[in-house]
């Protein structure tokens, strides 16, 4: 948390004293709105609460100035968090684990959404799957002379981990496919539309766009089918924020935004169009579809988080398998 006039000196003091996690901000909030909270977010469906809070003026109810910073991918947020630039981050559960695994003082206080991803594949692969099962990828390469190309977010991101988890569960050797790193949902969509990739692991609005437009890549499996309770974007707060009144104030507005999304799909679709860049009519279809499971309660994603923690550890993304207690702080939500 930053005060516009005293950020540097306070952070220098905290760094020198080594008390970022314990000092808290109980005494520095409520200074006439001079305190500033820097919130990282991404222009993606799983961060939709951010756009609703911003558009509906919910952020004005918080006793601090909220400075939103947009990022294209989770690894960039991890880097900024490690540099001390952020106080709150709305991004993937795996990058959040990476922050925690590195010993940075932060925990997840809320989920944003559950089961929002789709495994998408080319229509021809679906036909091959019906006949050959998981050997379809090998048959694809044999027939076409090149590996099946998945395009998804960078390695370590939630879509990437879900894709690799699904391949593993199906007994598919990763060496039989090509996984191409792409930053941003719009860039993934363009790669699909241009025929640059044959499939993806991705969230809305891409699956709805694919279903409504003339492309051969479509939803093959939903996250609920691959991993019930699959986590995605969450709200990570620094210990400094969690020890202040701002934590509960922020989550109160997060809950309001979640309820707004559930109860006002038409108005939310307009917010999606302005904030994420998806046409409102497509956005409304997406909001009414099976991937738009917006939540705030962190317990909604516990089971999937345990799977992700184990998988991320086995793949070297985090050094140890983190427990739920290491990842989550339930108290902020429970005390609302």
Domains recognised in the chain with CATH numbers? 2-115+230-334 (3.40.190.10), 117-226 (3.40.190.10)
pLDDT at 75: 86
User: Phi/psi at 237 (nearest 5 deg)?
Assistant: -125, 140
User: Phi/psi at 106 (nearest 5 deg)?
Assistant: -160, 155
Rounded Cα distance, 286 and 6, in Å:
44
Give the Cβ contact number of residue 105 at 10 Å.
16
pLDDT at 5: 31
Strands 233-238 and 88-92: antiparallel
pTM for the model stands at 0.83
The 3-class secondary structure across the chain, one letter per residue, is CEECCCHHHHHHHHHHHCCHHHHCCCCCCCCCCCEEEEEEECCCHHHHHHHHHHHCCHHHHCCCEEEEEECCCHHHHHHHHHCCCCCEEEEEHHHHHHHHHCCCCEEEEEECEECCEEEEEEHHHHHHHHHHHHHHHHHHHHHHCCCEEEEECCCCCHHHHHHHHHHHHCCCCHHHEEEEECCCHHHHHHHHHCCCCCEEEEECCHHHHHHHCCCCEEEEEEHHHHCCCCECEEEEEEHHHHCCHHHHHHHHHHHHHHHHHHHCHHHHHHHHHHHCCCCHHHHHHHHCCCCCCECCCHHHHHHHHHHHHHHHHHCCCCCCCCCHHHHECCHHHHCC
Asked whether the beta carbons of 148 and 178 are under 8 A apart, the reply is yes
pLDDT at 67: 97
Extract the tokens encoding 121: 């594949």
Asked whether the beta carbons of 228 and 303 are under 8 A apart, the reply is yes
pLDDT at 110: 98
pLDDT at 314: 87
Give the Cβ contact number of residue 121 at 10 Å.
24
pLDDT at 1: 54
pLDDT at 324: 97
pLDDT at 145: 96
pLDDT at 184: 83
User: Phi/psi at 63 (nearest 5 deg)?
Assistant: -80, 50
Per-residue pLDDT of the chain (336 residues; tens, 9 = 90+): 543 332 322 223 223 333 233 223 333 443 334 489 999 999 989 999 999 999 999 999 999 999 999 998 888 999 999 999 999 999 999 999 999 999 999 999 999 999 999 999 999 999 999 999 999 999 999 999 999 999 998 887 888 889 999 999 999 999 999 999 998 888 999 999 999 999 999 999 899 999 999 899 999 999 999 999 999 999 999 999 999 999 999 999 999 999 999 999 999 999 999 998 889 999 999 999 999 999 999 999 998 999 899 988 988 889 999 999 999 999 999 998
Asked whether the beta carbons of 250 and 62 are under 8 A apart, the reply is yes
Q: Which contacts qualify for 265-274: CB closer than 8 Å, 24 or more apart?
A: 268/48, 268/52, 271/48, 271/51, 271/52, 271/55, 272/45, 272/48, 272/51, 272/205, 274/51, 274/55
């Amino acid at each position: 948390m930053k005060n516009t006039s005293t950020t540097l000196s306070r952070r220098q003091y905290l760094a020198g004293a080594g008390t970022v996690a314990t000092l808290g901000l109980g005494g520095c909030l409520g200074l006439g709105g001079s305190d500033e909270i820097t919130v990282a977010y991404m222009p993606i469906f799983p961060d939709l609460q951010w756009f609703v809070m911003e558009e509906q003026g919910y952020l004005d109810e918080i006793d601090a100035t909220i400075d939103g910073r947009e990022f294209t991918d989770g690894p960039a947020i991890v880097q900024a968090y490690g540099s001390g630039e952020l106080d709150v981050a709305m991004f993937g559960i795996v990058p959040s684990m990476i922050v925690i695994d590195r010993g940075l003082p932060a925990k997840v206080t809320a989920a944003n959404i559950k089961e929002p991803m789709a495994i998408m594949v080319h229509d021809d692969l679906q036909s091959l799957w019906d006949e050959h099962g998981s050997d379809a990828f090998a048959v694809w390469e044999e027939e076409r002379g090149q590996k099946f190309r998945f395009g998804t977010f960078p390695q370590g991101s939630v879509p990437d981990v879900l894709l690799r988890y699904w391949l593993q569960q199906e007994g598919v050797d990763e060496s039989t496919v090509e996984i191409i790193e792409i930053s941003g949902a719009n860039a993934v969509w363009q790669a699909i539309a241009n025929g640059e990739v044959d499939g993806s692991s991705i969230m809305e609005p891409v699956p709805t766009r694919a279903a409504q437009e003339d492309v051969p890549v479509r939803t093959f499996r939903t996250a609920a089918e691959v991993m019930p309770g699959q986590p995605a974007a969450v709200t990570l707060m620094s210990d400094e924020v969690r020890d202040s009144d701002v934590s509960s104030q922020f989550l109160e507005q997060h809950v309001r935004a979640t309820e707004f999304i559930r109860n006002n799909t038409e108005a939310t679709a307009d917010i999606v169009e302005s904030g994420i860049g998806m046409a409102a009519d497509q956005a409304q279809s997406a909001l009414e579809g099976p991937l738009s499971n917006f939540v705030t309660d962190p317990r909604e994603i516990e089971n999937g988080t345990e799977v992700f923690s184990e998988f991320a550890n086995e793949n070297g993304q985090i050094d140890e398998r983190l427990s739920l207690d290491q990842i989550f702080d339930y108290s902020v939500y429970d005390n609302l």
